[in-house]
Structure 1
Amino acid sequence: MGKSGTHERLEARPIDDDSLMFVDDDHFVEETVCLVTGAGSGIGRATAVAMAANGTTAVATDVDESGLAGTAELGDEIGVDGRVETVAGDLTDDDDIERIVETAADHGTLRYLANVAGMQHIDAIEDFPMEQYDRMHDVMLRAPLYLAKRTIPHIRATDDGVGAVGNMASVHGHYVTSDKVGYNVSKFGLRGLTQSIAAEGGDGLRSFSISTGYVKTPLVTEQIPDTAEQRGISVDEVIDDVMLGQSRVTEMMDPVDVANLFVFGFSKHATHLNGGDLLFDGGMTLTYE
């Protein structure tokens, strides 16, 4: 795609029947529950809707109650075969985490957990505020561990023990860039959590991670115009040169693209995906000029 000089490249593809992946899986029924964090927007919203579109009951959680309402409304708009239920909660609060998991389990048979919630802070290590690091650690690494700890017993208690924990990692779980130490450490840690769950799983319980480059989420796209203005360059130049300069695919992913990876990862078609990482980065980390 050539440089257009517009901001159209920041608009995410709609979540609808044309963009969603649909799979045939006996566990993808309304009785099956998939708990999705960070589901008030972006990848989390897309994942909750995608799993509900595939027939499950997606329990969407986020600290943003209005965002959760928007996720439920989107599910209604596209007419998902399953359901989107919501539960607001703070992933830095253990009591909230326990309540979120138990609420999810009350909606059916809890088999799937998608740890998507994330945040970003940019500063050099010597300037990085530790209170911000602690919050990032709590939301992006400690909470996924505790959510898995509380979810796994529900999976093991099912009639066949089949279920999975999917963790939203990143290219920054493979290599790092400067001034993102909190994000880098958390994403590397998520890959370690993924492999730890796999090591203790078996008999149907799996784990996997997903690593992408830049995705058209509010966390990313809202920063791009400011970056363009600060650097005195166009939005297209920020995308092409600053963000995707190492990538062989010259456009950012859409949230629904990532949601489809979670659908695949949770499905029977990914039986041998256990402890592994789905690296969909457009060639960013494994190729070079």
Structure 2
Amino acid sequence: MLKGKVAVVTGSTSGIGLAYARAFAKEGANIVINGLGDAAAIEKERAAIESDFGVKCAYSPANMLKADEIEGMVRLAETTFGSCDILVNNAGIQHVAPIEDFPIDTWNMIIAINLSAAFFAMRAAIPGMKARKWGRIINTASAHALVASPFKSAYVSAKHGIAGLTKTAALETATFGITCNAICPGYVWTPLVEKQIPDTAKARGISEEEVKKNVMLAAQPTKEFVTVEEVAALAVFLCSENARSITGSMQQIDGGWVAE
């Protein structure tokens, strides 16, 4: 479905981002991955994308705090593979604290990585998409783009900002064959989430199963984690021609969280 297309995915060396990259590669797209981690582990994932799906995959070490490096990541896709047809802004960080105790530097970093980085990438990618009359921009938002939770002021603010950025970009690009949508997951089962469970169980004096159901999934009516494969499948659909009229949307995949 995506043969001949090129996808750039930020924050894609693990978790949801890696699932996006592999799902696009399965559909025939060449890939630029980006993110942090052990160099050998990143190279293993990059090589696996090529060998598993018969596509080309490059790695960009672009720092999401630096606008020039983010632009360089988009240019890497264009010079290496000829275009940047699909842009997925997925990189993100989190910090939990009351507003009055929230570190200012941490606030600035969360806004920069979760919101400003997406703007910089879109700013770099949109001109080429307009020239080719085709493009797909997908921003990983969150249920927190639509509702709030206490002690997550920076993350909620950034994700609400992503919602506004998504809608604005959709309006600006609507006549150029470009769509811009946000995916809004609830709690997704990732290695990062899995690692938190034993410590949380110990700290609260409850079982790991109780942590999952009554702490992490308290707001998720299904009481089940969303899988990275489900999120990636939604992204693939949004890149299809059948989704060409879907733009400016917040695609909830949250087990019913926002419905309550």
TM-score (norm 2): 0.94
Tell me, yes or no, if the aligned pair for 1:166 and 1:210 is still in contact at 8 Å: yes
Shift of 1:81: 4.0
Instruction: Report the AA paired with residue 234 of structure 2.
Output: L
Tell me, yes or no, if the aligned pair for 2:49 and 2:55 is still in contact at 8 Å: no
Shift of 1:76: 4.1
| Structure 2: runs of 5 or more not aligned | none
Matched, 1:225 2:198: yes
Tell me, yes or no, if the aligned pair for 1:155 and 1:205 is still in contact at 8 Å: yes
Shift of 1:220: 2.2
Counterpart Cα distance in 2 of 1:197 and 1:112? 14
Shift of 1:219: 3.3
Shift of 1:222: 2.0
Matched, 1:162 2:138: no
Counterpart Cα distance in 1 of 2:16 and 2:57? 15
Q: Which moved more, 1:107-116 or 1:58-67?
A: 58-67
Counterpart Cα distance in 1 of 2:20 and 2:29? 11
CA 1:57–1:76: 2 relative to 1, 3 Å: closer
Counterpart Cα distance in 1 of 2:156 and 2:70? 24
Structure 1 match to 2:156: 184
Matched, 1:113 2:70: no
Matched, 1:215 2:188: yes
Match of 1:75 among 49, 58, 76: 49
Q: Which moved more, 1:277-286 or 1:241-250?
A: 241-250
Total equivalences in the alignment = 257
**SS of equivalent residue, structure 2 residue 180:** strand
Instruction: Report the AA paired with residue 152 of structure 1.
Output: I
Instruction: Report the AA paired with residue 281 of structure 1.
Output: D
Structure 1 residues 253-282: Cα deviation after superposition (integer angstroms, max 9, x where no partner):
221221111111111121121000110111
Structure 2 match to 1:152: 126
Structure 2 match to 1:236: 209
Match of 1:57 among 1, 10, 30: 30
Counterpart Cα distance in 2 of 1:109 and 1:47? 18
CA 1:231–1:63: 2 relative to 1, 3 Å: same
Matched, 1:124 2:98: yes
Structure 2 match to 1:41: 14
Match of 1:139 among 110, 113, 133: 113
Counterpart Cα distance in 1 of 2:50 and 2:83? 22
Shift of 1:85: 1.9
Structure 1 residues 119-144: Cα deviation after superposition (integer angstroms, max 9, x where no partner):
11111110000101111111110010
Counterpart Cα distance in 1 of 2:191 and 2:77? 26
Counterpart Cα distance in 2 of 1:200 and 1:68? 35
Structure 1 match to 2:76: 103
Counterpart Cα distance in 2 of 1:130 and 1:229? 30
Counterpart Cα distance in 1 of 2:48 and 2:209? 29
CA 1:74–1:256: 2 relative to 1, 3 Å: farther
Name the Cα RMSD after superposition.
1.4
Tell me, yes or no, if the aligned pair for 1:50 and 1:259 is still in contact at 8 Å: yes
Instruction: Report the AA paired with residue 97 of structure 2.
Output: D
Q: Which moved more, 1:60-69 or 1:194-203?
A: 60-69
Matched, 1:252 2:231: no
Instruction: Report the AA paired with residue 143 of structure 2.
Output: V
Counterpart Cα distance in 2 of 1:263 and 1:146? 23
Of structures 1 and 2, the one scoring higher in RCO (CA 8 A, sep 6+) is: 1
Structure 2 match to 1:195: 167
Instruction: Report the AA paired with residue 194 of structure 1.
Output: T
CA 1:254–1:151: 2 relative to 1, 3 Å: same
More helix as a share of residues: 2
Percent of paired sites with the same residue: 33
Tell me, yes or no, if the aligned pair for 1:42 and 1:255 is still in contact at 8 Å: yes
Instruction: Report the AA paired with residue 156 of structure 1.
Output: K
Superposed structure 1 runs of 4+ greater than 4 Å apart: none
Structure 2 match to 1:94: 67
